[in-house]
Amino acid sequence: MIHALLRSVERLSISPSKRARDFQQAIQAYKNYEPVELRGFLILRQPPNAPKDGVYYLLSPLAPKELPKASIRPYVVLKIMENTNVSAQLKSGEYVKVKGIIDTYPYGNMRLIHVTSIERRDYSEYWLQYEDLALTKREFMELFDNTIYANYEIRRAIIYSLFASPALVGVNKNWGEGVTFSALKNDSKIIHSLWNASRYVLRLLPDELLLKRRKEFLYVDEELDLDFTFSKIGDGWYYLPSSKLLLKKDLPIAEWAVPYFNDKRAVFLAPKLYKKASPEDPLAHLSETPFILNEPIGLERNRELEQLIPNVLITVFKERNKLLSLSPSDKAMKRFREKFENWIAKNAREYGEKFDALRLKGMIFETNTRYLLSVRLLGSIARFEGEINTSIIRNVLNMNQEIVDMWMNEISEKEMLKVLEIYEKYIEQDFRNKRAVMALRIFMDLEATSVDGSVTKEEFYNALRKYGFKPSYAQEIIDRLIADGYLYEPFLGKLRLIKPE
């Protein structure tokens, strides 16, 4: 119930004016010559009547775009001296931690800090100052469930995307924490509905969190008779195509943002209007949740969400910091790998060579890529739910299953035949023994879910036994795959697949 969410909107909400008042109270509580540690945004402008005995700048408790929204603006003067330890880029808009000795500024009623050190800090700390005002899981869900109307999996996938993904230890891919929620359809009404819903949500976020080409932002403080120019505000985190025209591209992303997409350095909400479903779709290939929409997304303006966006961000950053990485050696990860391999086997039995063909390199269900993307989805959900358990693992596999079923029904027979031809070339004609093909496929699945790309002989043997191979034949087929040049043994007891050129 929404009233349960609003334990008290006034108590929960964090306005720029509240931040400014809290900062001012904290500053006033210090006595002159006491050591002080503060966080804020650097402003490279001299305060009025600055002395000539050092470099003087300003520190604001508010992000640049929040300055005009506050009823008061309690700047602190920073005096940077020759012995000040500087480990930050000195540019306006940089979020920094300042240590020093507090004093009175000779002119006006501002306070001054004789800075001993100044260092760059992560922008998330700006929100974690009010960590106790984070929302509960139920409150968080209700805000978005009362804003975006879609089926359960899609609503949840959008929410999970906001939390990004922990890093996976040992993976060769140089990916960041970003994730991609994509939705595709050959229907402009459906795709535009998702774009409009996503745009509504992202427009509520601070400019510092949006990934976009930066323009200079000019702010004039008439009381101090100063103008502040911020050329780059924040690192940017969430991306939505800025124009409906981008939705028609293979990657519905501006050219300058493509490297961020490929390297998973931002959260992308990327709807795409396609002409036909392609098994090699570049957007679907790198999306954690590449849904095919069948009906428009509903949107209702939500004043509670608008007012509690700071609390939403506090919740996101708080949960992100709790789970920074996942390790393949964790019990939960081992359990997920086993369940994922079972899920692969289930779909291979159900869809046969069609599914196997769509798991080749470059295809939308390329096994290794889809496994890593599924792990990232698992991490996003774990950040939201607080832990990895059987329910979350099942949730990830259910989402994957819905996506697979959608794509299987959407890909045309003509496109599928092309993929099957490629698959036939990969599984050569002189290697058509069904049991041998099954064994090779089992190995490929094990390899795809292995972080370092290698599979132990014991692991392969046990998997063959699990799939019904007799002990003597399991060992024979391993030796045959090595002898025929499909597998090789780079280290004693470890096997790798020989990729065809």
pLDDT digits (tens, 9 = 90+) for 80-92: 988 999 987 788 8
Q: How far apart are CA 83 and CA 479, in angstroms?
A: 68
Q: What is the pLDDT of residue 499?
A: 60
Residue 403 contacts residue 287 (beta carbons within 8 Å): no
| Six-digit token string for 474 | 């399991």
Tens-digit pLDDT string for the chain (501 aa):
554 545 555 556 788 999 999 999 999 999 999 999 999 999 988 888 888 888 999 999 998 888 888 888 889 999 998 899 998 778 888 899 999 999 999 887 889 999 999 999 988 899 999 999 999 999 999 999 999 999 999 999 999 999 999 988 877 778 999 999 999 999 999 999 999 999 999 999 988 899 988 767 788 888 777 787 776 555 678 999 999 999 999 999 999 999 999 999 999 999 999 988 999 999 999 999 999 999 999 999 999 999 999 999 999 999 999 999 998 888 999 899 989 988 988 998 899 889 988 988 889 998 889 999 999 999 999 999 988 999 999 999 999 999 999 999 999 999 999 988 888 776 654 444 677 778 888 888 888 788 777 888 888 888 888 888 888 888 888 888 887 777 877 777 788 877 654
Q: How far apart are CA 339 and CA 394, in angstroms?
A: 9
- pTM, to two decimals: 0.84
Q: How far apart are CA 388 and CA 393, in angstroms?
A: 7
**195 SS3 class:** helix
Q: How far apart are CA 457 and CA 470, in angstroms?
A: 16
| Six-digit token string for 81 | 């001296």
Q: How far apart are CA 81 and CA 77, in angstroms?
A: 13
Q: How far apart are CA 451 and CA 434, in angstroms?
A: 28
Q: How far apart are CA 11 and CA 308, in angstroms?
A: 11
| Six-digit token string for 471 | 């002990």
User: In 3D, which of 174, 272, 226, 168 has the Cα closest to residue 45?
Assistant: 226
How much of the chain is helix, strand and coil, in % rounded to 5? Answer: 45, 20, 35
pLDDT digits (tens, 9 = 90+) for 276-307: 899 999 999 999 999 999 999 999 999 999 99
Cα 319–Cα 324–Cα 325 angle in degrees, nearest 5: 135
Domains by residue range for the chain, with CATH: 9-121 (2.40.50.200), 131-206+263-409 (3.40.50.300), 427-497 (1.10.10.10)
Cα 264–Cα 362–Cα 172 angle in degrees, nearest 5: 45
